[in-house]
Structure 1
Amino acid sequence: MVFRQLFDPTSSTYTYLLGDSASGEALLIDPVFEHERRDLALLRELGLQLVATLDTHVHADHVTAAWLLKQRCGSRIMLAAAAGAAGADRALQHGDRVAFGSRHLEVRATPGHTNGCVSYVLDDQRMAFTGDALLIRGCGRTDFQQGSPSRLYHSVREQILSLPEACLLYPGHDYRGLTVTSVAEERRYNPRLGGDVNEGDFSGYMKNLGLPHPRLMDIAVPANLRCGEPEDPGAGAGEPDWAPLTCTFSGIWEIQPNALYDCVAGGAGSAIQIVDVREPDEFNDALGHIQGARLMPLSQLAQQAAELATDRPIVAVCRSGARSAQATVLLQKQGLKQVANLAGGMLRWRAEALPVEGGAV
């Protein structure tokens, strides 16, 4: 099984990717709207197909990417029926199973933080994803969205801490940099729900937290009740349209050699600034260089970036694509927005038998 834990630093939200290696099918738990591009790039790089997004509840601190991912790759939207959200493809009930290839997650209702909270337990009970019901040495608050200390106490004790002691627990958030805990740890060390804490102790603790409401609550909750669909779905797409580009998991826009050649051969290339960031001796070595490329070694690029036109797209080129990836980041920091990396660099360009100036035949 493929497993990745991803993080949104703005809301301290964890997103989880689970994939079945044999079938290539994958799930995303609690995807964040702003990271849709990152998540799709990771799926593509791992060779996985997203079949569904699962939210643990209606979030108050970020907007889910469920709707956006459905538009991009046709994944199904799933969350608890009790959440009352519009637009879900499957309204989950306690005891349901969500399959991905030969694996599945079991749905366990764990209300209390909100009325529609669920936790997802892997088929072999080695992992569980607890959303905000149970955090590492803590739990979600219970003072809004139908929150209830009593319900949360029983949810955690009966549905999560009843799992095998070795079961790893992955929370929806962490604000201290912690990533994972276990049933055994939380039974023993959770100050709110572990040890000899009873329902009265827990309720008294939760009713006196005195926390301010989440800053984005008035935006996030209505959006998440629509499964993340914007009020104006056509606004703000923000995808580059000057060439066929893909975004890598590291956030770098890339253009494939044949796509760049098609742009150049078709005449569109006259608008594209090709910037070769190798050293001068490499520019005319055996690999040669792309016709019309401008030599700007990476070591001098920051000083020379002002010479580039700001209204024309840029493709950065190097030997393998590594230095030019760094160059795209540098150019963006210099205020140039339409920047892409030539995937695979001159090695790929030559491997695909595309024309060069200079170089060995």
Structure 2
Amino acid sequence: MLIFRQLFDAPSSTYTYLLGDALSGDALLIDPVFEQVRRDAALLHELRLSLRWTLETHVHADHVTGAWLLRQRTGSRIALSCRSGAHGADRLLEHGDRIAFGGRHLKVRATPGHTNGCLTYVLDDQSMAFTGDCLLIRGCGRTDFQQGDAGTMYRSVHEQIFSLPGRCLLYPAHDYRGLTVTSVDEERNWNPRIGGDSSADDFAGYMKNLGLPHPKQIDVAVPANLNCGRPAEGLVGAGDPTWAPLTFTFGGIWEIQPHVLEEAGARVQVIDVRQPDEFDGSLGHIGGAKLIPLDQLAARSGEIDKARPVVAVCRSGARSAQAVVLLQRAGFGEVANLAGGMLRWRAEGCPVEGGAA
């Protein structure tokens, strides 16, 4: 079974695509974004997938790729076009190459025109293709910088994308209107730039008169992406929390495991957000925990020391996850959720005060 997820980075309007083979657990990411690496790694962990490859559709001008950082974190390999001019990749791809992940694979089609190194990745059964900036939903990538050429793009789209089966779903690298997917038939018929009866000359005239502003991040993104997203020394950005070994969830919450919290002891503050009858009920509570019910937390956050890490606790970890969000909004920087709550705390034999035997 194919595992497929479409992920979005709002600041750059970039789509990242996760494809995994459920049988083997092998996966790949297309067009990862540097600032979203923590999110992507969390999703891979929760789906129990091993990242084998990160693939670039081209050298991006609007964001920095997460390929290098993912390689550091997961041991994945980096692949992009041999015509990209990039350094540091593990594999430089040519037209016709295959990238395997478990029992599935993507076929590489060279689709230059936006840049010389643009690639489209086609799933083995031709049910979906990932077109990068070559073909967008009712649009296409620009051709006015980075080796762009309207005639080349016209040929790429018609020869390499429109030649796919009409039912083939097309997934672009960007969309600025909230659209998520299209198909070969749709774009052949309805793309106002390059579909219908548009000729190469019609398309060139359209592209010549777009009048778009220069990409805001181009001076930062292109040099970094020519190095596969490896940042300059000292510019890696904020790392993971250091006060305890934490796990970041795809839901966006830092979690601490029961045994880690037990070992942390008095170094952290435990805030129990259950109701008083639960705090003194059958599950008991963690020694030293301070009871502040969730519906009182925003008003009483001043009772909590911002200079010390905070762990929020509830019965199952659901209410305390919301408590983490509320505390972060209140300015707490070092805050985590107890994974599994008191149910898991007791199940793992951690000490409690009160509660049933």
TM range (shorter): over 0.9
The structure-2 alpha-carbon separation of the partners of 1:296 and 1:46, relative to structure 1 and needing over 3 Å to count, comes to same
2:131 & 2:235 partners in 1: Cα distance? 33
Does residue 1:10 correspond to 2:11, yes or no?
yes
Residue 38 of structure 1 aligns with which residue? Answer: 39
2:89 & 2:19 partners in 1: Cα distance? 20
Does residue 1:319 correspond to 2:309, yes or no?
no
Amino acid in the other structure paired with 2:273: V
1:273 & 1:263 partners in 2: Cα distance? 10
2:59 & 2:8 partners in 1: Cα distance? 18
* SS state at 2:140 partner: coil
2:235 & 2:163 partners in 1: Cα distance? 45
* SS state at 1:332 partner: helix
1:284 & 1:320 partners in 2: Cα distance? 16
Amino acid in the other structure paired with 2:245: P
Amino acid in the other structure paired with 2:114: H
One of 326, 331, 336 as aligned partner of 1:330: 326
Residue 55 of structure 1 aligns with which residue? Answer: 56
Cα displacement (A) at 1:235: 4.2
Does residue 1:356 correspond to 2:352, yes or no?
yes
Does residue 1:236 correspond to 2:242, yes or no?
no
Deviations 1:128-155 (A, max 9, x none): 0000000000000000000000000000
1:197 & 1:132 partners in 2: Cα distance? 19
Cα displacement (A) at 1:345: 0.1
Cα displacement (A) at 1:261: 1.1
Residue 286 of structure 2 aligns with which residue? Answer: 290
Cα displacement (A) at 1:233: 5.3
Structure 2 residue ranges without an equivalent (≥5)? none
Deviations 1:223-243 (A, max 9, x none): 101110000157434210111
Deviations 1:46-88 (A, max 9, x none): 0000001001000000000000000001000110010010110
Does residue 1:89 correspond to 2:85, yes or no?
no
* SS state at 1:53 partner: strand
* SS state at 2:52 partner: strand
2:62 & 2:153 partners in 1: Cα distance? 19
Alignment of 1:274-285 (within 5 A): 274-285=270-281
The structure-2 alpha-carbon separation of the partners of 1:246 and 1:34, relative to structure 1 and needing over 3 Å to count, comes to same
Deviations 1:270-314 (A, max 9, x none): 120000000111001000000010001000000111111111100
Structure 1 residue ranges without an equivalent (≥5)? 265-269
Amino acid in the other structure paired with 1:130: T
2:307 & 2:94 partners in 1: Cα distance? 52
1:8 & 1:346 partners in 2: Cα distance? 35
One of 343, 347, 351 as aligned partner of 1:347: 343
1:233 & 1:155 partners in 2: Cα distance? 40
Amino acid in the other structure paired with 1:263: A
Deviations 1:125-184 (A, max 9, x none): 000000000000000000000000000000000000100000000000000000000000
What is the root-mean-square deviation of aligned Cα atoms in Å? 0.8
Deviates more, 1:115-124 or 1:255-264: 255-264
2:74 & 2:140 partners in 1: Cα distance? 33
1:27 & 1:238 partners in 2: Cα distance? 23
* SS state at 2:136 partner: coil
Residue 132 of structure 2 aligns with which residue? Answer: 131
The structure-2 alpha-carbon separation of the partners of 1:34 and 1:235, relative to structure 1 and needing over 3 Å to count, comes to closer
1:177 & 1:2 partners in 2: Cα distance? 22
Amino acid in the other structure paired with 1:332: Q
* SS state at 1:83 partner: coil
1:88 & 1:211 partners in 2: Cα distance? 31
Q: TM-score, normalised by structure 2?
A: 0.99
The structure-2 alpha-carbon separation of the partners of 1:234 and 1:71, relative to structure 1 and needing over 3 Å to count, comes to farther
* SS state at 1:349 partner: helix
1:81 & 1:340 partners in 2: Cα distance? 44
2:101 & 2:187 partners in 1: Cα distance? 28
Deviations 1:94-145 (A, max 9, x none): 0000000000000000000011100000000000000000000000000000
Cα displacement (A) at 1:319: 0.2
Residue 251 of structure 1 aligns with which residue? Answer: 252
Aligned residues: 356
2:3 & 2:208 partners in 1: Cα distance? 40
Residue 267 of structure 1 aligns with which residue? Answer: none
Amino acid in the other structure paired with 1:182: S
